[in-house]
């Protein structure tokens, strides 16, 4: 059950990390949720059960950090080969 906190942190971290991306915060929030859920499960397995303030903080912060990291990896993977990000439709040149 505690992995849900990591999932929530991942959604927030991924959404913030991908706010200016062509995919938008929804897609990055989804990627962040995957990373945060995995991180939450790992933290839960390594620390045992029971929720206290420190574990809640670790779940949300760990999920948010990994969610933002997954979001950044998605952004880097979708860049064009020239090194510049693909422009959005209707963006000024």
CA distance 59 to 44: 8
CA dihedral 87, 89, 91, 93 (to 10 degrees): 60
Amino acid 77: pLDDT = 78
Please indicate whether residue 93 or residue 5 has the higher confidence score (pLDDT). Answer: 5
pLDDT, one tens digit per residue, over 43-92 is 777 777 667 787 778 778 888 888 888 887 877 777 755 555 555 565 55
Distances (CA, A) of 29 to 7, 22, 57, 70, 90: 10, 13, 19, 10, 24
pLDDT, one tens digit per residue, over 31-53 is 888 888 888 788 777 777 667 78
Is 16 a residue whose pLDDT tops 80? no
Contacts of 92 (CB under 8 A, 6+ apart): none
């Amino acid at each position: 059950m505690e992995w849900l906190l990591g999932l929530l942190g991942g959604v927030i971290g991924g959404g913030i990390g991908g706010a200016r991306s062509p995919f938008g915060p929804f897609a990055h929030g989804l990627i962040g949720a995957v990373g945060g859920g995995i991180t939450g499960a790992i933290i839960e397995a390594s620390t045992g059960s029971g929720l206290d303030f420190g574990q809640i903080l670790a779940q949300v912060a760990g999920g948010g950090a990994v969610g933002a990291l997954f979001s950044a990896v998605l952004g880097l993977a979708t860049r064009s080969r020239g090194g510049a990000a693909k422009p959005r439709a209707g963006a000024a040149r």
